[in-house]
Structure 1
Amino acid sequence: MPRWTGTWLEGPGVTLGELRSPDTWPGSRLGLPREGRGAVATFSVRVIAFLADIAASGLASGLVLAFLAHPTDKQRQAAGLAVLFVESALLVALTGQTLGMRVTGLQVLRLEDPTRVPGLATGIIRTVPLIASLGLVGFFTKDGRGLHDLAAGTVVVRSS
């Protein structure tokens, strides 16, 4: 085998754990704790919260669609997305939590002032990319922030 293939096939010579500094964790650059209340929420818990939100939105949109004689697939999809948008934007704006976040113990914090609830503008700014990026689920920064968090200047943390 030629010499050059042996160099890249052997790998970098370090493990992923060695590449990470022991003094960094998701949220460390934001001044958040490593674990417990206020720590960045894990991806799996955020997915569970989002699935709960989708289920709640599906139930609510089903109630709305019950008043239509024969809703089309497009009407069902539009109603589901509309309810998900309104639920996410309003609840995050007013309480800092969606229904799914409340169930899983998560909360949305404003990076500039974590003591205040996000507010309506932040709720909407955060929800638009969330709905638009449903196909990009899983793309997060090192600090566990998605596209929607970056746009709104927020971070999702454990509330309990």
Structure 2
Amino acid sequence: MPTQSPQRFGDLAPSAWPGERLGLPESGPSSVARPGRRILAIIIDWALAALPAYALIGGRHPELWNILFFAILQIVFIPTIGGSIGHRVCGLRVVPIAGGWVGPWRPAVRTLLLVLVIPVLVWDSDQRGFHDKIAGTVLIRS
């Protein structure tokens, strides 16, 4: 009787579409958000955070205020309206993989990693950034 060896990293077959392994549809509502909408959403969020940082506070390092306001917007709006303002404008929302409410800790962890930028640049075949993988979330179309 042959024994199966444990699955090694990289042995998983590629997904037919982003989100297939997560049980998400290929397109339409609840499908994984594609890069175009993601980029537009983050531009909107960054611009909204830049308004008070540069126009109202200014000072020597307005970029630090910009990061702080960006983080606050993410942490406040993801658990309350299902995504940041940019996400919602672009028809996206952040949901936990396990289902239910995203809660307060997932947006905090996700945002901390998001402002570090590098985890955002590392994606898997489901188009989930490292920040989403660690937080146990996925950005989907609403």
TM-score norm. by structure 1 comes to 0.75
Q: After the TM superposition, which parts of structure 1 deviate over 4 Å for at least 4 consecutive aligned residues?
A: none
d(CA) in 2 for partners of 1:84 and 1:138?
18
Q: Select which of 61, 72, 77 maps to 1:86.
A: 72
Alignment of 1:19-58 (within 5 A): 24-58=16-50
Q: Is the 8 A contact 1:93 1:121 kept in 2?
A: no
Per the TM alignment, residue 63 of structure 1 is displaced from its structure 2 partner at its CA by 4.7
For the pair shown, the structure with the greater C-alpha radius of gyration is 1
Give how far 1:149 is off.
0.1
Give the unaligned 5+ runs of structure 2: 1-12
User: SS of the counterpart of 1:157?
Assistant: strand
Output the amino acid matched with 2:91. Answer: G
Unaligned 5+ runs, structure 1: 1-19
Does 1:125 pair with 2:104?
Answer: no
Work out the number of aligned pairs and report it: 130
In the TM superposition, residue 98 of structure 1 has moved relative to its aligned partner by 0.3
Please report the TM-score for the alignment, with normalisation by the length of structure 2: 0.84
> Does residue 98 of the first structure (1) align with residue 84 of the second (2)?
yes
C-alpha distance 33-44 of structure 1, shift in aligned 2 (>3 A): same
Residues 152 and 136 (structure 1), Cα distance of their counterparts in 2 relative to 1, 3 Å cut: closer
Determine if the alignment matches structure 1 residue 108 to structure 2 residue 104: no
> Does structure 1 residue 62 correspond to structure 2 residue 54?
yes
The two structures, once aligned, show a CA RMSD in angstroms of 1.8
One-letter code aligned to 1:143: D
Percent identical among aligned pairs is 30
1: CA distance, partners of 2:43 / 2:73: 13
- Looking at structure 2, the residues matched to 62 and 99 of structure 1 have their Cα atoms a distance apart, in angstroms, of 19
Q: 1:121 to 1:64 in 2, by over 3 A?
A: farther
1:8 alignment partner in structure 2: none
Amino acid at match of 2:66: G
Q: Give the partner amino acid of 2:89.
A: V
Q: How does 1:132-151 map to 2 (within 5 A)?
A: 132-133=116-117, 135=118, 137-151=120-134
- Structure 1 or 2: larger helix share? 1
